[in-house]
């Protein structure tokens, strides 16, 4: 079993402070994303940071710029956050639901995607910063906002994409975004295990 999946060890007072600061950093980064606070969001990422999610792969600062140009509103509901700490490094996993309201072929639809966001963070000049952010995709749904607004999407259109983020892939592809089909997801548990192992190796290096 990966260290990341084991019960965290007893905390010192210093560890509790660090974990709180990391949790606040992650929640603030998502808050900035949802409230168009782009300059503040950029401050959350280290200069050499990376982001790899369904519609984007690149640096943290490029991700902020790309997010600012998205036409659709995509707020996040955040749930539990767990932090594994090793001196000036930490790995955090946040459970989240991404919510996107968008129009497809004249129909107003609500996309919901359940995902774990895995962050590598590091204390740089005594301040915690995000080194990387990656998504682990679980399941999603795409429903009309109003039951009266029916839409029929051919099954084969959704079946083109990975089951753990098929509806998100379909919806984002309709908006012109390229979709990475090789992301970690529970439909391919080996991809999740690989990400956990790489994160653990980084944490202990």
- Condensed to tens digits (0 to 9), the pLDDT of residues 102-117 reads 888 888 999 999 999 9
Q: Which pLDDT does position 115 carry in this prediction?
A: 97
Tokens of 27: 């929640």
Distances in Å between the alpha carbon of 199 and those of 1, 77, 90, 183, 196? 13, 24, 9, 15, 5
For the cut 60, the answer to whether the pLDDT of residue 1 exceeds it is: no
CATH assignment, 12-187: 3.10.450.50
- pLDDT at 10 > cutoff 90: no
Instruction: Give residue 2's pLDDT band: very low, low, confident or very high (50, 70, 90).
Output: low
Rounded distance between C-alpha atoms, residue 49 and residue 134, angstroms: 11
Query: Are the C-beta atoms of 186 and 138 separated by less than 8 Å?
Result: yes
* 133/125 Cα distance (integer angstroms): 20
Inter-residue contact 172 to 140 (CB < 8 Å): no
Average pLDDT over residues 159-173: 94
Asked if pLDDT for residue 129 goes beyond 70, the answer is yes
Q: pTM for this one? A: 0.92
Share of the chain above pLDDT 70, in %: 99
Which pLDDT belongs to residue 197? 94
Residues 37-74 pLDDT 10s:
999 999 999 999 999 998 899 999 999 999 999 877 78
């Amino acid at each position: 079993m990966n260290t990341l999946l084991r019960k965290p060890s007893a905390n010192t007072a210093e560890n509790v402070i660090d974990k709180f600061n990391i949790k606040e950093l992650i929640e603030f980064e998502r808050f900035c994303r949802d409230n168009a606070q782009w300059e503040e969001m950029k401050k959350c990422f280290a200069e050499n940071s990376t982001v790899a999610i369904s519609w984007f792969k690149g640096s943290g600062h490029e991700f902020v710029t790309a997010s600012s140009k998205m036409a659709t509103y995509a707020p996040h509901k955040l749930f539990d956050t767990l932090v594994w700490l090793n001196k000036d490094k930490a790995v955090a996993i946040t459970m989240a639901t991404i919510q996107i309201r968008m129009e497809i072929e004249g129909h107003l639809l609500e996309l919901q995607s359940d995902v774990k966001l895995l962050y590598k963070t590091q204390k740089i000049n005594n301040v915690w910063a995000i080194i990387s952010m990656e998504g682990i995709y679980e399941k999603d749904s795409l429903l009309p906002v109003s039951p009266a607004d029916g839409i029929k999407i051919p099954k084969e259109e959704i079946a083109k994409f990975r089951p753990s983020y098929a509806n998100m892939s379909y919806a984002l592809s309709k908006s012109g975004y390229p979709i990475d089909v090789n992301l970690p997801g529970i439909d391919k548990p080996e991809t999740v295990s690989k990400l956990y192992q790489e994160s653990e190796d980084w944490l202990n290096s």
